[in-house]
Amino acid sequence: MGNQKFNIALIGAGTIGTALGNILAEAGTESILLHSIEEQIVEDINRIHINSKYFPTLHLHHSLYATTDERMLEHCKIIFLAIPSVIMVEYLKKIQPHLPPDAILLNLAKGFGLGNRTIPECLTEEFPNPLGTLKGPSFAREIINRLPTGFTLGYQNPDQIKKIKAIFKNTNIHLDYSDDIRGVEILSILKNIYAVVLGIVDAQFNSPNLRFLILTKAFQEMRKVLLYFGGRADTLFNYCGYGDFTLTALNYLSRNRTLGLLIGKGFFTEHVSHELVLEGKTAADVFYQEISKTVSVEDHFPIIAELYRIFHTKYDISLFVNTLLNFPEE
């Protein structure tokens, strides 16, 4: 298949890239290209149809083809970006000669790019390509096992809707749509912060009443932060908003909820902080620092401020819930 021309590719053969690539391959409309820098993953996918690193027990569709050769991207019309946000821009700049300038670049990564800007904002400065983003409540293992999954397509041009909708036909992916790309991106990062908060609460109290009281407070503050950073309030009610937030905050497969549980039980240490990729901690730091440039975080966004204190001061975690409950109502 090395000489075949592919229309659809995914850059990144981790969990989400492999999962989406496989269900697109199974849909049967096109052969799907999976690009990776990991030679062993590429060899295993092409030889035995298994991603031995991320899905070692699942057999992948025979038309999912993997490669380390970026030249095979040169005929693609749609390219999904499924590599970590911290390396996204620099890696794409490196392979830019092989990216067709008219290919739609769809960001799957959740996190900031360079200079605390969203990935699409960073890409707009470096690439002529049309851009979009795809975010929602989506554990990769459920996607690859064909369970119904929702994503919000953040788009620049309505013409993108038809093209993306067509490739997900006959798959388990359900889409809603928003032209608020910035809001979609901001929510995908914000939800990690408040998932940590819900984890702390649930570690200390097995109380549905309290859980959903705090969930409501968190959702209200998310709305304020979203508006502060230029997103639209209605984006909260797309899959990328309420759906992704509650999945991350309430499900035990969530890393950020697990981080909250560790903090709430008193197991969070500097060693844990340095050894793990902690999206919630990183996001809390960035939002706190950005907001503090113009207003008091403590006065306007007290939940973020309190979580920031946990990460950066000696904090008595037993006081956390009562502190949240005693914030003045707006």
Q: Given 179, 206, 231, which residue is the final one in a domain?
A: 179
In a domain, 120, yes or no: yes
Is the predicted pLDDT of residue 273 greater than 80, yes or no? no
Sequence-ordered list of residues with C-beta below 8 angstroms from that of 89, at least 6 positions apart, any chain: 113, 114, 119, 122, 123, 126
Query: What six digits make up the tokens of 30?
Result: 């096109």
Residues 173 and 282 in one domain: no
pLDDT at 76: 96
Residues 115 and 237 in one domain: no
Helix or strand holding residue 232 (H, E) = none
Residues 230 and 136 in one domain: no
pLDDT at 275: 46
Is the predicted pLDDT of residue 1 greater than 90, yes or no? no
pLDDT at 50: 97
Residues 219 and 160 in one domain: no
**Mean pLDDT of the chain, nearest integer:** 93
Q: How many CB atoms lie within 10 A of CB 251?
A: 13
Distance of CA 186 to the CA centre of its chain: 10
Is the predicted pLDDT of residue 30 greater than 80, yes or no? no
Query: In the 8-state DSSP scheme, what is residue 118?
Result: B
Sequence-ordered list of residues with C-beta below 8 angstroms from that of 183, at least 6 positions apart, any chain: 154, 226, 230, 231, 232, 235
- pLDDT tens digits, one per residue of 189-227: 999 999 999 999 999 999 999 999 999 999 999 999 999
- Give the residue among 17, 64, 66 at the shortest CA–CA distance from 39: 66
Residues 171 and 29 in one domain: yes
Strand order in the sheet with 32-35: 64-67, 32-35, 8-11, 78-81, 104-107, 131-135, 149-155, 173-178
Residues 207 and 169 in one domain: no
CB 20 within 8 A of CB 39: no
Residues 83 and 113 in one domain: yes
Residues 19 and 153 in one domain: yes
CB 255 within 8 A of CB 279: yes
- pLDDT tens digits, one per residue of 35-80: 999 999 999 999 999 999 999 999 999 999 999 999 999 999 999 9
Quick one: average pLDDT of 305-323? 94
Residue % of the chain over a pLDDT of 90: 87
pLDDT at 267: 83
135 part of the active site: no
pLDDT at 323: 96
CB 240 within 8 A of CB 154: yes
Distances (CA, A) of 231 to 150, 190, 227, 326: 20, 12, 5, 28
- 269 pLDDT band, cuts 50/70/90, is low
Is the predicted pLDDT of residue 9 greater than 50, yes or no? yes
Residues 107 and 223 in one domain: no
Phi, psi of 36 (to 5 degrees): -145, 155
Give the global pTM: 0.93
Query: What six digits make up the tokens of 313?
Result: 């001061």
The H-assigned helical ranges of the chain are 15-27, 39-48, 85-94, 119-126, 140-144, 159-167, 181-204, 208-228, 244-250, 255-264, 270-275, 279-291, 297-300, 302-312, 320-325
pLDDT at 31: 85
- Of the listed ranges 121-125, 203-207, 266-270, the least confidently predicted one is 266-270
pLDDT at 319: 95
In a domain, 2, yes or no: no
- Please tell me which residue in 135, 191, 217, 281 is annotated as part of the active site: 191
Is the predicted pLDDT of residue 5 greater than 70, yes or no? yes
Quick one: average pLDDT of 93-115? 94
In a domain, 293, yes or no: yes
pLDDT at 277: 53
- pLDDT tens digits, one per residue of 124-170: 999 999 999 999 999 999 999 999 999 999 999 999 999 999 999 99
Phi, psi of 168 (to 5 degrees): -95, 5
Which domain range does residue 88 map to?
A: 8-179
Mapped onto helix, strand or coil, the DSSP state of residue 269 is coil
Query: In the 8-state DSSP scheme, what is residue 252?
Result: T
For CA atoms 280, 283, 289, 290, give the dihedral sign: negative
pLDDT at 28: 82
